[in-house]
Amino acid sequence: MAAVARVKVRRPGTGRVIGDRFVGRALRIYLPLLVMLVVTLFPFYWMAITSFKSASELFDFSVSPLWVREPTLDWYRHLFTQTNFPRWAFNTAIVAIASTLISLFCSILAGYSLARLRYRGADTIGWGIFVTYLVPPTLLFLPLTFVIRELHLFNNLWALILTYPTFLIPFCTWMLMGFFKGIPRELEEAALVDGATRIQAMVRIAIPLALPGILAAALFAFTLSWNEFLYALIFMNDSLVKTIPVGVTQELIHGDEFFWGELMAAALLGSVPVAVLYSFFVDYFVAGMTAGAVKG
Amino acid sequence: MGTAVRAKTAPAWHRRRVRIYDREAPLGYLLLAPTLVVLGIFLLYPFLFGIWLSVTDSELGNLGSFIGLDNFRFEWRNTDGVFYTAVVNTFLYTGITTVFKLSLGLIMALLLNQAFPFRRFVRAALLLPYIIPTVLSYEAWRWMFDPTFSVINWLLVNTHLAPYPGPNWLGVPFNAMAALMIVNVWRGTPFYAIAFLAGMQVIPVDLYEAARVDGATRWQQFTNITVPMLRPVLLVVLLLSTILTFADFQGPFVLTNGAPYNSTQLLSIWAYQWGIPGGAISLGAAISLVLFPLLTLVVAGVLFLLRRPE
Amino acid sequence: MTQGNRAKSGWSRREFLKTAGVAAATIAFPEIIISCGPQSSSTPTATIPKPRKGASIRLLQWTSFVKPADDEFVRQAQEWGAANGVTVAVEKVTGDQLQPKTAAAVEAGSGPDIIQMEYAWPQLYTDSCLDVSNEVNILIGKLGKPDPVNEAFCKVNGVWRAIPYTIVPNAWTYRTDYFQQAGVTSFPKTWDELTTAAGKLKATGKPISQTDGHAYGDSLTMWNPVLWGFGGKEVNADGKTVAINSKETRDAIRWAQGAVKAGLVVHPEWLDPDNNQAYHADRISGTLNGASIYIREKIEFHHYTDVTNNAPMPSGPKGTFAMNLIFNHAVMKWSPDAETAKAMLLALMEKDSYLKWTTVASGYNVGPFDAFHNDPIFAADPKLKAFEDVVAPGKWPGWPASPSKKTAQSQTQYIVADMFAKALANGGTGDIEAAVGAAETSLKAIFERP
């Protein structure tokens, strides 16, 4: 929308208008988009093709590997009948949604507090929250295991729901601090002068204005939880409480033989539906915000 | 610091600030409380424990005793050079991929912010690499790079871009580093793009309208409005991405695990090899914390930059 | 244990319970005799562990290549559980994932009751593994001498910390049609013959190929035996003095360089699945691997089953050596029902059930006691014989030093494989001295570290 508006606003006589409509626009937008799409999607095309190939066709490069000659749905069928894939997808969704909500709740409040309120120690705390990222999870998981044991959360989805926020909150908080800072202070101060409380100003003015940031933070949090591997591997034991990344690798890789068709089928099923869901969210925040709450 | 400046120039403001300052402290802490509780329980102990481990001679299952900086000294003196290879590779890996992810992510966000047909589909598609479970996409990439079954090489050879059998992606040190970086950029770019796209939404449209009235070109609008307005988001994303890339383990572990002969060794893998399969957990902790002081400075610096324009 | 009474050693659960039930019937089995060796079937004093009704046992192990074998293992465990009122859960993770899961359990001091130990894990996690000398002695009484490699890994400072479980033997799988085409009538018996054969096979366009990269299994099982075959070693038997910098090491590297120049293709980028895939795709004529390639050809692809054969390790001037994957089961110290766990492991190692399991495993696994030698599965398919043959010359990483934390570190840092890989870079023309020097420095860093 914005681009169309922009073209209309541009005054005749500033030049390049005609070129801009066709060649210019193609070169400026469509060509780079096409290149990006091809590079981004090729691995997915390859996964999709792989997931429809029989085991023997998979290793046959004598003819073009880019197409499938005898498509088979065996891998998908196997995935749904022989493994707990639907259950893993369900677990993954539950964990991702719950930990995203917890993280958003915490980081909206914390981000607002650190960005907007003035009190002793705010800088130090903000800094401290981020510094925790510097200890890599490849080792952090060992002492964390001890905490999970003390809380009796092994083999319980709560272990993931509660630990994922540790790597989500710091980033979301900082991201939202940035957004809250971008909102003109005067808007809230006007509300305060009108008799609103701080909390009211936050809920009614700051949070709606920071919505694109909140949605972006939600996307990150959801995606990171959706993909998380190490904690899910360590804390979950039974097949019924596994998440997609852990369940799929554990039950579809046998010793030194990989079952590519099934692995790739699982990879696609584990990502494409979420991507479709995302596209609606992304559209929502892009469209919603260009409508221009900020203008007011 | 904003307060201080204002205090000098406007005493009236000052008085009001102080009043709000007093009132804001309890609320500030209250709003922080949920975050501090979650992080305190699940992060503080492991974090401190990790630091403590690095200055002990602990092994897996045996808590050791304090030995000062011996673990760091051990790596520092390590004459076979694996440690230094890992340090250099980690910097290269982080630096180069960050430059690509940042610029490609910005371009992607600018493109996605335009109107074009099938926009919804395109947005979803470009997000895919970031959404797909990492372990699985890395396995797929490994297979695409496998010299025997490299579909990439098949394409290169069949389009006559490379002579048969095509480059050995993971078996030659230079190529293997490049392959690691390609996959990281492929996966990481959408992360930047989403953040920038969100950042662009809160830039007031009037700014662009005013600039256009003043006859600013698109490029001028980009450098004078978009980039400065994106700064807070950009810094946070950059910082987070840098730290996560520094510690990136899964991708390199699946793709090369340091092979060929440690030429793609990274600090994260090296720490893991000592700490988990080697059982020398204290040394592993020391290796992964070796850049802690440096990264802390970087974080502090970015925090400073982020706060300045109030 | 002699051939004769082995037939009787099928040691059914009922008998077992009966024995356990009679309170006084603990069988004498003095420690001294065990340490003298396995000639010991007579005088037992071991206490047979009793399962506790209502206990629940969790066992963690890797996902084996042969899925039906995993299923059979679970079935047996659960059958035993049902008969004894014990809930049994078997959790399977990939080989890569087993180590971090084990490390987490050790660090937290809680987790599965039984963990499958790979290679030198009993040395790494000694304090977390219960002493199972009593149970191993019972098994020795029933099944005879344990495999020396399993014993080396299980026994830490004279105490058994794990119960020998299985060996995944590694042998050469090759294409008889390409070998014939190249004029090679049988698989090479020595490393030098392998060089010649590799040269001839390269001409067919289907080379003999192997990894020299960071492959968890295949890289170690190839380059350690090459090193040993020429008399090289990482460290002396004392487990302290680094001995890689020797003429023998250089001989081994020179052989490897010659073989690569002649036509052996090494892939530093290959991980464990890659040679399997290359073989299934008709890209290579031979490679060193577990029986998985052959088994998958035989039961799934059927493309090259008839033209595939397997062969044991070639010999070097200093003898024949092999390296196999070694798995053992440890009962962890945090288990609330350690006795039940031990009883279950004993039941699973019982000859009848064990052989049932190896039959389902189709030759992928070999039993770690004398009683399991001449397993009928290897007689059923003569092509599998090679996998049985590589068990006897098997050694462990770090040999001739005993397995230790240090040998585990050198193993998981791929120091031997990297040494070869460096010398084999650029078509086998890497700098030998630089490769040996780097390996020596790395080994010294490990073995001289306090």
**Pair B173, B103 in one domain:** yes
Q: For A141-190, how does the pLDDT look when each residue is reduced to its tens digit (9 = 90+)?
A: 778 888 888 888 888 899 999 999 988 998 889 888 888 887 888 888 88
Share of chain A above pLDDT 90, in %: 12
pLDDT at A6 exceeding the cut of 90: no
Is B250 within 8 Å of chain C by CB? no
**Pair A149, A224 in one domain:** yes
**Pair B169, B289 in one domain:** yes
Q: For B266-290, how does the pLDDT look when each residue is reduced to its tens digit (9 = 90+)?
A: 988 888 888 888 888 888 888 888 8
**Tokens 């894990």, located at residue:** C121
User: Is residue B289 assigned to a domain?
Assistant: yes
Closest CA to B56 of B46, B65, B43: B65
**Pair A17, A120 in one domain:** no
Q: For C246-256, how does the pLDDT look when each residue is reduced to its tens digit (9 = 90+)?
A: 999 999 999 99
Handedness of CA B306, A178, A168, B185 (dihedral sign): negative
**Pair A54, A137 in one domain:** no
The interface predicted TM-score of the complex, written ipTM, equals: 0.82
Rounded to an integer, the average pLDDT of A6-17 is 40
Between chain A and chain C, how many beta carbons pairs sit less than 8 Å apart?
A: 87
**Pair B36, B164 in one domain:** no
B118 torsion bin: left (phi>0), alpha (psi -120 to 50), beta (else): left
Tell me which chain A residues have a C-beta less than 8 angstroms from the C-beta of C66: 254-255
Tell me which chain A residues have a C-beta less than 8 angstroms from the C-beta of C291: none
**Pair A194, A244 in one domain:** yes
Closest CA to C247 of C397, C445, C432: C432
**Pair A55, A103 in one domain:** no
Tell me which chain B residues have a C-beta less than 8 angstroms from the C-beta of A289: 201-202
User: Is residue B245 assigned to a domain?
Assistant: yes
**Pair B279, B157 in one domain:** yes
User: Is residue A133 assigned to a domain?
Assistant: yes
Residues A162, B194: C-beta atoms closer than 8 Å: no
**Number of domains forming the structure of chain B:** 2
**Pair A163, A56 in one domain:** no
User: Is residue B57 assigned to a domain?
Assistant: no
User: Is residue B208 assigned to a domain?
Assistant: yes
Where are the alpha helices (H) located in C263-404, listed in sequence order? Answer: 272-280, 292-296, 338-349, 351-360, 376-380, 385-389
Output the average pLDDT for chain A: 80
User: Is residue B68 assigned to a domain?
Assistant: no
pLDDT at A256 exceeding the cut of 80: no
CB C138 within 8 A of CB C51: no
Which residue ranges form the domains of chain C, and what is each CATH number? 3-167+325-380 (3.40.190.10), 171-323+386-447 (3.40.190.10)
Closest CA to A59 of C281, B105, B167: C281
**Pair B39, B86 in one domain:** no
**Pair A67, A113 in one domain:** no
**Pair B26, B98 in one domain:** no
Structure tokens belonging to residue A49: 């093709």
**Partners of A156 in beta bridges:** none
**Pair B225, B285 in one domain:** yes
Q: Is A262 helix (H, G, I), strand (E, B) or coil?
A: helix
Distance from CA of B162 to the nearest CA of A (A): 17
pLDDT value at residue B47:
81
**Pair A144, A231 in one domain:** yes
Residues A254, C64: C-beta atoms closer than 8 Å: yes
User: Is residue A295 assigned to a domain?
Assistant: no
**Pair A149, A244 in one domain:** yes
Q: For C2-55, how does the pLDDT look when each residue is reduced to its tens digit (9 = 90+)?
A: 333 433 333 444 444 444 443 333 333 333 333 444 444 444 466 888 899 899
CB A218 within 8 A of CB A70: no
Q: For A80-89, how does the pLDDT look when each residue is reduced to its tens digit (9 = 90+)?
A: 888 889 999 9
Q: What is the C-alpha separation between C325 and C272, in angstroms, rounded?
A: 12
Is B159 within 8 Å of chain C by CB? no
| Minimal-distance CA residue of chain A relative to C102 | A234
The interface residues of chain B toward chain A in range 154-183, judged by CB-CB distance below 8 A, are 154-155, 158
**Pair B173, B283 in one domain:** yes
* Cα separations in angstroms, B183 against B129, B134, C450: 10, 11, 39
Residues A46, B151: C-beta atoms closer than 8 Å: yes
**Tokens 């060929």, located at residue:** B260
**Tokens 């030659």, located at residue:** B172
Distance from CA of C170 to the nearest CA of A (A): 12
Q: Is C73 helix (H, G, I), strand (E, B) or coil?
A: helix
Q: Which residues of chain B have pLDDT under 70?
A: 1-23, 79-80, 303, 306-310
Q: What is the C-alpha separation between C69 and A76, in angstroms, rounded?
A: 24
User: Is residue B93 assigned to a domain?
Assistant: yes
**Pair A30, A100 in one domain:** no
Domain of A125, CATH number, reads 1.10.3720.10
Tell me which chain B residues have a C-beta less than 8 angstroms from the C-beta of A286: 112-113, 197, 201
Question: Residue C383 has what DSSP assignment?
Answer: G
Q: What is the C-alpha separation between C368 and C358, in angstroms, rounded?
A: 11
DSSP per position, B82-147 = HHHHHHHHHHHHHHHHHHHHHHHHHHHHHHHTS--TTHHHHHHHHHHHHHS-HHHHHHHHHHHH-T
User: Is residue A186 assigned to a domain?
Assistant: yes
**Pair A154, A16 in one domain:** no
Domain of B276, CATH number, reads 1.10.3720.10
Residues C104, A141: C-beta atoms closer than 8 Å: yes
User: Is residue B51 assigned to a domain?
Assistant: no
pLDDT value at residue B300:
74
Tell which of A31, A57, A72 closes a domain: A72
**Number of domains forming the structure of chain A:** 2
Question: Hey, what long-range contacts does C388-392 have (CB within 8 A, 24 or more apart)?
Answer: C388/C169, C389/C171, C389/C312, C390/C169, C390/C170, C390/C171, C390/C312, C390/C313, C390/C322, C390/C324, C391/C147, C391/C167, C391/C169, C391/C322, C391/C324, C391/C366
Q: For C349-390, how does the pLDDT look when each residue is reduced to its tens digit (9 = 90+)?
A: 999 999 999 999 888 999 999 999 888 888 888 899 999 999
The interface residues of chain B toward chain A in range 40-69, judged by CB-CB distance below 8 A, are 41-47, 49-51, 53
Q: For A206-224, how does the pLDDT look when each residue is reduced to its tens digit (9 = 90+)?
A: 888 888 888 888 888 898 8
User: Is residue B161 assigned to a domain?
Assistant: yes
Q: For C260-271, how does the pLDDT look when each residue is reduced to its tens digit (9 = 90+)?
A: 999 999 998 888
pLDDT at A14 exceeding the cut of 50: no
**Pair A190, A268 in one domain:** yes
Q: What is the C-alpha separation between B224 and B206, in angstroms, rounded?
A: 14
Q: Which residues of chain C have pLDDT under 50?
A: 1-44
Residue A100 or residue B143, greater confidence: A100
Structure tokens belonging to residue B293: 């002081």
Domain that holds residue A254: 76-290
* Residues in chain B, overall count: 310
| Minimal-distance CA residue of chain A relative to C289 | A256
Domain that holds residue B289: 81-307
